[in-house]
Structure 1
């Protein structure tokens, strides 16, 4: 691994060798150099943010098939804006009151097994989450975690939306949820923050009929980490934009881009909305636009082949360590990036998988590996954010700590 000095060395902050994947806590992914260049050029002058958002909307529309799109300061911010749009609609007074939702439907239905810490983003808009279903599958009863009828019977006059966390294992099927929601004229908001690649997922959710879908701009798309994409129905995107953009303007000179906002549909200039704290700078908007263009042009098969080779390299470096067993998982049609799952024989190693992972994180540079399966004495090596030299370094540090 290169020993060249970095900006983090200059700041006295330990670098991270990232074998964990596109995790926000260690900076997401590496921004594409072309996007960094575009951001630098954007910093040299000015543009109206609403014009940049309109341009981003065009690109998001083209690549998702949605009626419109928008950029927020991360996927969680996009979830907040999407929820605010579902609650306030085109009611300027309701926008002004959020997160006070008095007089507006403000309940968001979620399957219980879809609930995560990220639902703070939904509640931040003023919504009350109504969770349905059970955790019976974890008890081994054989019953379903959530039945479609449970969602339908939870819908009332106070329902603003149904939220759905997209993972390949989540139930019920999204198509069934959309069917139920639309039968009651309720929008569906899908959190698909980490669901690209594959590129096909950009269109998958709109094709399935969802009203709003959220993607991260700073993971595999490799735009600025502080960007998220909201795509969906034009009226909901318009509401999100009204609640996000700087609206300190005299009515006489208020002239937003008509392909993003229709001022004639509103009684006046909205106040600063709940989304004002989620603003995106001109540099981030330009960087996301350029990164998304490049992501669409990228040869995904070539990238997967590179990740597959790197995973094989990691496997080869660790295969003769007696206290470890390795298995390559993923690399298929849905989970396109393969990863190496490494299980520690904790008795033989004299240390637990958690102790090993913590020791790696305390080094300088820090080594981060996936830690979602420590209860099974397993950690994960993800090749997406590594070079080959870094992969060898990670394997070296694992061996050294075990010895």
Structure 2
């Protein structure tokens, strides 16, 4: 396998990515058209508020939301979305964040809690847990009952947060109905829930007020980009807290669709979003990648991924002590993964050793470690045919198999 890359020149081992669009190994490959557009964008200047206003229009067209915004990743979208829910159009509250003059609580079902909700807390919000883990006890009860969400909403609640996965409950439409009855917005983390493209509209249609998507995963835009889609008033607050606001009031004329100067009543100070800025190159690259993603034949892609997964599974099944299963594509799943289970009493090694040893090679090979110690996963989403062959060769070498 050819490893003649810029990373070799820098003395850094490149990675063969068999685990999917993980940030820690670079996300996905930027689309060639997006990369070309980024290079062209770098040659000239543009007012970023104008570019964000155009992006807002395009994101609205794609998602069915009232407006949209390009952020520096999906986590940034969550922070800015939470900041908008806290501050609204209040310039004073914007200027004080992440300090808040009154409690700013975001209600989250306990089973939706992840390391990524740190992005919500970064805005100054406090997370309020609701629900239990009862389903895992086999009692038949639900992790979070709708009444628990309603009961947790008080005068200090600024939002309800929802992690969009196939296993999360209650249904989003139930959560949004409860939140809206209490006049509270719902922020949905849908960072990795593309494809299908129907998910762009799905969460908005189910009542979400703000939805965060990654721009650097399946969309294959710049890894440092994200998309926030939702209510126009909240997106305006995001823009006011994100854009460079060192501006003289007499000539402060941002696009009216993006920033409502009259409603704000003044020029905002540099907001909490200033440390999350997005360059003109990333903005342009994301918009081009988004258009290409919409045009893509995702059925053909899924078929290609399944074929690649089946090739891997069929070959690994012939290795003593190894069994495989191809995960079913659930409603909001992306690519079918191969779950590789290793029986250490039969195989020549164990799953943990395989995963660890592969990561020490040059090039490093990354497979999914979420199922350790019994199993690991192989995701075909970021592999081409040559890389698939290489991954299979390395797996069989470690597991004791031969051939392809």
Q: What SS does structure 2 have at the residue aligned with 1:243?
A: helix
Q: What's the TM-score, normalizing by structure 2? A: 0.97
Tell me the residue number matched to 1:169: 167
Distance 2:253 2:47 in 1: 11
Task: Please list every run of 5 or more consecutive structure 1 residues that lacks an aligned counterpart in the other structure.
Answer: none
Determine whether 1:248 maps to 2:246: yes
Does the 8 Å CA contact 1:113/1:135 hold for their aligned counterparts?
yes
Number of aligned residue pairs: 400
Tell me the residue number matched to 2:395: 398
CA drift of 1:107 comes to 0.3
Q: What SS does structure 1 have at the residue aligned with 2:346?
A: helix
Task: Please list every run of 5 or more consecutive structure 2 residues that lacks an aligned counterpart in the other structure.
Answer: none
Does the 8 Å CA contact 2:110/2:130 hold for their aligned counterparts?
yes
Tell me the residue number matched to 1:277: 275
> Please, which of 296, 299, 308 is the counterpart of residue 297 of structure 2?
299
Does the 8 Å CA contact 1:304/1:331 hold for their aligned counterparts?
no
- The Cα offsets for residues 271-300 of structure 1, whole Å up to 9 and x where unpaired, read as 000010010001000000000010011111
Tell me the residue number matched to 1:265: 263
CA drift of 1:137 comes to 2.1
Determine whether 1:149 maps to 2:182: no
Determine whether 1:385 maps to 2:382: yes
Q: How does 1:2-401 map to 2 (within 5 A)?
A: 3=2, 5-103=4-102, 105-331=103-329, 334-375=332-373, 377-401=374-398
CA drift of 1:38 comes to 0.4
Distance 1:118 1:55 in 2: 28
CA drift of 1:318 comes to 1.6
CA drift of 1:141 comes to 2.6
- The Cα offsets for residues 303-348 of structure 1, whole Å up to 9 and x where unpaired, read as 1121112112212332211121011112455434211111001122
- The Cα offsets for residues 244-285 of structure 1, whole Å up to 9 and x where unpaired, read as 000000101111011211111112100000010010001000
State the Cα RMSD in Å: 1.1
Distance 1:124 1:264 in 2: 28
Cα pair distance change 1:108/1:395, threshold 3 Å: same
Distance 1:351 1:189 in 2: 44
Q: What SS does structure 2 have at the residue aligned with 1:182?
A: helix
Q: What SS does structure 2 have at the residue aligned with 1:347?
A: coil
